[in-house]
Chain A
Amino acid sequence: MSVLVFVEGLNGEIKKSSLEAASYGNQVAKALGTSATAVAIGDVKEEALTQLGAQGISKVLFDGEQRLKQFVADAYVKVIAAAVQKEDAKVVVFSNSNIGASVGAKLAVRLNASLATNVTTLPKTEGAGFTVTRGVFSGKAFADVALTSDIKIVAIKKNSFDISSEGTGAATVESFSAGLTDADFALLPKETVMQDTSGGVLLQEAEVVVSGGRGLKGPENWHLIEDLAKELGAATACSKPVSDMDWRPHHEHVGQTGTTISPNLYIAVGISGAIQHLAGVNSSKVIVVINKDSEAPFFKAADYGIVGDAFEVVPKLIEAAKALDK
């Protein structure tokens, strides 16, 4: 038996969340007295994959088929299922990304496996058991869930596990094919449009996020958010009314009806902290709130707060951030 990790690429590199999955997979493998292998698909260069050695992965199965650079669920599932069989994997680790959660659910049906998404802990494996903790009720609680099938699939919450670098040596990359046919690509997207991610930081993967709300008064003031984000190497986000009013694109909105994020640092500027907003950000490790109203509910969820006018406070932060040695 072994542990298999699914690795996603973006623009030729391994996604940060997949490095977290690889580190997690290696730890699970050690606990179970076995080793972890990776299966990589998509937009990733072979050279990048060799670096998985640092996360303790010694072998990577890689399907370099051109069409897999785009996400086609059926084709992905077929490749991973074949890898599970080849490696006799009993635990399969994904990142809880759009792709990971989708492929995980399909794979669970195909392999008759147990699945837990949004996982925040390593498994407890006493006895023959396998129990993980997962985030439930939109960040308001955790649940321990016992996975009872022979094969267990876990999709781990982004930014919940450190990327380890304890491994030595390079991983060997083995080319791998599951005999995909045209039928597996029936759902190849007609069109893919990538957004202009400000500063090149993907919101879901960002360690630092600077977010603005209605308190910023209008889109013409967003340079404050963007400049601070740029100095901090952060992604930008916003509250729902801000995207509803088209001050910012829809995909930037975080919360119950938007994207859920869990960065190390979330800086909220001019956002009141409605419960629907908190649902998308409450698992951020450190929350900073800047609001001119000392009664704003967001302060209750914050680690650091400044009561003040964003138009005066943010320029000071930008100055201070510029002075940091990076």
Chain B
Amino acid sequence: MKILVCISNVPDTTSKINFAADNKEFDKNGVQFVINPWDEYALTRAIELKEAKGGSVTVINVGEADTEPNIRKALAIGADDAIRVNAHPKDAFFVAQQIAAVAKENNYDIILMGKESIDYNGSQVHNMVGELLSIPSVVPAFKLDMVDDTTARLEREIEGGKEVVEVKLPFVASAQQPMSEPRIPNMRGIMTARTKPLQVVEPTGAEAKSAYVNYSKPEKKGGVKMIDAENAGELITLLRNEAKVL
């Protein structure tokens, strides 16, 4: 089974977010980048499936050279090889077109992604890739098992419940907790990752369909109003009469 795992390179959740160039650009200064946490669930599940059924796991990232440490990390966790599409990820549609172009060349059985990237919070790329390749996308899945060599069974979250779907290969799915237990690379993994193939390809001429023109931060809260625990009931009155949310 050939599995493609799409990883995005995002600021660690604990990072302070700042903007540069008059709020026109994200400021990378002092920010630590990690593999998008949701993508780690996808990556680990892909490796587990490979361990159980054989096959290969390829990771792909659309990004500039500074994403390579995290691509190497994915190789250290257990992917076999990697592709970097050498381009700034302009928007979800642009990224989806790059991934779809690579997938068309390679006939993957399963394309796994994360539920959403925690930087742009778009939750778009998986469905776009499915649509571009005319294959189903099952989003967001928290369980993925093979029924037999050609069919997978997934459980996906819906608002207020869950659904079980069976789908023939090939398909796209996005992963969320608790699809797998993300792994930490071990020493052997880190050593072998250095020699695993990382292919850099140039982007297709695809266009973006949106442009990020400005950034801002939420207004600071006015500070917290403390209520004495003895008179806790007063909170309810304040929520109704002052905050007007009850």
Contacts and interface: CB of A to CB of B under 8 A. Distances in A.
Given A303-B225, A307-B226, A148 B162 contact: no
A238 interface: no
Central interface residue in B19, B93, B123, B239, by most chain A CB within 10 Å: B239
A85 B2 CA distance: 38
Contacts of A128: none
Contact of B233 (A102, A147, A319): A319
Contact of B127 (A102, A187, A304): A102
Contacts of A285: 245
B225 A304 contact: yes
Contact of A304 (B125, B209, B235): B235
Contacts of A116: 210
Interface stretch (B69-77, B163-171, B192-200): B163-171
Interface string A155-187: 000000000000000000000000000000011
Interface in B139-155: 139-140, 142, 153
A71 interface: yes
Contacts of B224: 289, 299-300, 302-305
A206 to B, nearest CB: 11
Contact of A305 (B19, B127, B161, B227): B227
Given A202-B159, A276-B13, A189 B164 contact: yes
Given A137-B11, A142-B218, A208 B163 contact: no
Contact of A106 (B127, B159, B160, B227): B127
Contacts of B176: 257
B37 A257 contact: yes
A131 B239 contact: no
Given A195-B160, A275-B14, A105 B209 contact: no
A145 interface: yes
B118 interface: yes
B157 interface: yes
B106 interface: no
A135 interface: yes
Contact of A144 (B122, B213, B236, B243): B213
Interface stretch (A44-52, A56-64, A214-222, A310-318): A310-318
A137 to B, nearest CB: 5
B130 A286 contact: no
Interface in A98-150: 98-99, 101-102, 104-106, 108-110, 112-118, 131, 133-149
5 contacts: A109-B96, A197-B160, A250-B142, A276-B13, A320-B233
Given A142-B216, A317-B235, 14 more contacts: A71-B163, A101-B123, A105-B128, A106-B130, A110-B131, A136-B120, A137-B118, A143-B214, A190-B166, A195-B160, A195-B161, A304-B235, A305-B227, A306-B228
